[in-house]
Amino acid sequence: MQADDLEISGTKQAVTTARKAGFVACDHCGLVYRPAAGTCTRCGNALHSRAPLSLQRTTAWLLAGLIAYVPANIYPMLLTSTLFEKQESTILGGVVDLVHHGAYGIAFIVFVASVVIPIGKFLAIAYLLLAVGRHRALNAHQRHLMLEVVEFIGRWSMIDVFVVAILSALVQLDTVATINPGIAAVSFALSVVFTMLAAQSFDPRLIWDGNEAGK
Amino acid sequence: MAVSRIALDALFGIQVVASTQLPFVYGTPNGYSSQYCGVIGRSCNAAGWRRLERRDDPPRKDIHGLTASVVETGLVACPKCDLLHKEPAMAENCTLSCVRCGAVLAAPRRDAFTRVLVLALTAMILMIAAVYFPFLDLKVAGLNNHTSVLDAILAFSSGLLLPLSFAVAALIVLIPSIRFAAIAYTLWPLVLRRRPFRYARTVFRLAETLRPWAMAEIFIVGVAVALVKVAGLATISVGPAFWAFCALVIVAALHDNFMCRRTIWKSLEQSRQ
C-alpha cells in the first residue's frame, strides 16, 4: 500500500491526488471534474475539493458531544424500584453493580461500550484535528485507520441506550419490580449522535494532504 | 468498513488479494505513463493493463454527451483520500480498492442488483413482522409482561425523555425501512431494464446518507445484553419478532455487502439516456 510497492516498472512514480492534478472529485461517487462545477452531474452531490469548514464543524460537534457526555455520567441512567428499595444507577454505577453480581463479562461489555469507546472517540477525534497538516507520531495511514475505526465503532455506543430501552420495556411488573429510564439516557444518546456527526464531518482527504508520497 | 467487507467476501468465495501484492493503477495527469490493472480478484487479469491516453488527446464525447473537459472520464478519485486512479474495465466479482488508503472504490458482484433488490424487499417484510409480533415475554413469580419492539420504543415516552422515543423509533425501525424502500425504489427499474423512476438519484443518495444511522444490528446486540442482565432474575421467552429481527440483521448485512455504490450510480446514469 505504500508508495514503495508501486515501484514495479522500475521507475518510481509519485502518486497524484485529484487536487494536485487540478481536478475536483465527487466525494460520493468518485467522478472527477475540472474545477468550477457546482454539483456532480451523476449523483447530484455538491462538489468540493475539500469539505468546507470541515475542521471547524468537527470541532463544534466534538465539543457538543463532550458537553452532552457530562450529564450522561452525572445523572442516573436507570431507575430501578422493587418491593423493598428504590435505586438510581449511573453508567459507572451500573458497571459496579454488575461486577458485584459477578457478571464480569457483561460489566466489561457495558464498561467498554459506554466509557472506554466514547472517551476513546473524543481523544481520537481531537488528535486527528490537531494532527492535520503537521508531522505527528502517527503517519497518514495510521490516522486514516483511526478515523475509519472511530466512524465504524461510533454507532455501537448507542447499544447502551437500546439496553435501557429494552430493560425498561421488559421489566414493568407493577409493584414487584420496575425499571425506568433516567435522564442520562437522553444526554448519552445526544453525545453519541454528536460524536458520530463529528467523525462524519471530518474530511479524510485532509489527512492525506501533503502526503502525496504515500507516507 | 473494508475489513468486514473482506470477511464477507471470503465467506462468499470471492477471492480478494491483499492490495499490496498487485501493481495498481494510478493516474499521472500529464503525458504517458505505464499503468497497471487496479483490479484484484479472479477473472480480472484480462481487464487491466491498459495505457493511459495522453491527456491532450482530442476530447471524446462521454456518456453524458458532455465533453471530457467538464468531466474527466476514465478516472476515479478515491472519495476518502482523493488519490486518482485510472478506471479499469471491471469484471464481475472484483474488488477495486484504493492503492493508498485501501478504501473500496468499486465491488461489482454478479446479479448484484437482483440480489440487493430481493434482499431489500425481504428486509422490509421482516421489519413488519419484527414490529408487530410479540418480541419478548418476561415471567417471574406468576407475573407476566409481554414486550414488543413498539414497547421498547415507547419506554422513553414519559416527560423529558420523549424525544428519545422518536430517536429510537427512527434508528431501529424508520431509518432502516426508509433505506430498504429507497434502494428498492432505485433498483426496481434497473433490474427490469427500464428507465429509472423520477428522483431516483435523490432517493439513492438519501439511502446512502442514512446508512450509518440504520442501527438495527446494534439494537439486537443491545437486546442480547439486556437479556443476559435479566436472565438470572426472571424467565424470558423470545417471540417470533425476535427471530424476525435477527433475520433482518443478517439480510441487511448481506444486502450491504452486495451493494456497490459505484455500479449503481453508473447504471442510473446509463439508463437515464
Asked if A183's CB is within 8 angstroms of B147's CB, the reply is: no
In angstroms, what separates the C-alpha of B175 from chain A's closest C-alpha? 14
Q: Is the pLDDT of residue A186 over 60?
A: yes
d(CA A134, CA A207): 9
State the residue for C-alpha cell 439494537: B219
Note the pLDDT tens digit of each residue in A101-150. Answer: 887 887 888 888 888 989 999 999 999 998 886 766 678 888 889 999 99
What is the reported pLDDT for B158? Answer: 80
Angle in degrees, CA B44, B47, A40, rounded to 5: 105
Using the predicted structure, report yes or no on whether residue B234 has a pLDDT greater than 90. no
Distance CA B248, CA B84 (A): 37
Q: Which residues of A touch B34 (CB under 8 A)?
A: 9
For residue B175, the number of C-alpha atoms closer than 13 Å in the C-beta half-sphere is 19
Neighbouring-strand partners of residue B72: A32
How many residues are present in chain B? 273
Say yes or no to pLDDT of B174 above 50: yes
DSSP-derived letter for residue A133 is: T
Q: pLDDT tens, B186-205?
A: 999 989 888 888 888 899 99
Do A33 and B67 contact (CB within 8 A), yes or no? Answer: no
Which ranges of B143-199 does DSSP label H, i.e. alpha helix? 149-154, 162-169, 175-191
Please give the DSSP secondary-structure letter assigned to residue A173.
E
Average pLDDT over residues B164-181: 93
| Interchain CB contact of A12 with B (< 8 Å) | no
Query: Which residues of chain B does A141 touch, with a Cβ-Cβ cutoff of 8 Å?
Result: 101
| CATH number of the A52-208 domain | 1.20.140
Q: Which of B173, B183, B172 is nearest to B206 (CA)?
A: B183
Q: How far apart are CA A140 and CA B34, in angstroms?
A: 26
- The predicted-structure confidence for B59-91, as pLDDT tens digits, reads as follows 333 333 333 335 667 788 888 888 888 777 767
Q: Say if B240 is an interface residue toward chain A (CB within 8 Å).
A: no
Q: Which residues contact A85 (CB under 8 A, 6 or more apart)?
A: none
Question: Rounded CA gap, B215 and B177, in Å?
Answer: 11
Residue listed under C-alpha cell 407476566 = B144
Average pLDDT, chain B: 74
Measured on CA atoms in the order A183, B222, B250, A192, is the torsion positive or negative? positive
Count of beta carbons in the 10 Å neighbourhood of residue A102: 10
CB–CB of A176/A83 below 8 Å?
A: yes
CA angle B16, B19, B21 (to 5 degrees): 100
Contact A189 B164 (CB under 8 A): yes
Confidence (pTM): 0.79
Q: Dump the DSSP string for B126-152.
A: HHHHHHHS--EEEEETTEEEEE-HHHH
Interchain CB contact of A143 with B (< 8 Å)? no
> What are the residue ranges spanned by the domains of chain A?
1-49, 52-208
d(CA B140, CA A101): 19
Contact between chains at B218 and A158 (C-beta distance less than 8 A): yes
| The pLDDT of residue A192 is above 90 | yes
Name chain A contacts of B22, Cβ cutoff 8 Å: none
CB contact under 8 A, A109 and B225: yes
- For A156, phi then psi, to 5°, come to -70, -15
Q: What's the Cα-to-Cα distance from B123 to each of A132, B144, B200, rounded to whole Å?
A: 41, 30, 20
Give the tens place of pLDDT for each residue, B13-62.
443 433 332 333 333 333 222 233 233 322 222 222 222 222 333 333 33
Q: What is the CA radius of gyration of chain B?
A: 23
Q: Find which of A45-49, A189-193, B37-41, B196-200 is predicted with most confidence, using mean pLDDT.
A: A189-193
Tell me how far apart the alpha carbons of residues A42 and B55 are, in angstroms, rounded to a whole number: 22
CB distance A6–B26 less than 8 Å?
A: yes
User: Tens of pLDDT along A199-213?
Assistant: 999 988 888 876 654
- Contact between A79 and A184 under an 8 Å Cβ cutoff? The reply is no
Task: Answer yes or no: do B28 and A13 touch at CB < 8 A.
Answer: yes
What order do you get walking across the sheet with B143-147 strand by strand?
B143-147, B136-140, B235-238
**Residue A13 near chain B (CB below 8 Å):** yes
User: Chain B neighbours among A 81-140 (CB < 8 Å)?
Assistant: 98, 101, 103, 105-106, 109-110
**B141 residue type, one letter:** A
ipTM surpasses 0.90 = no
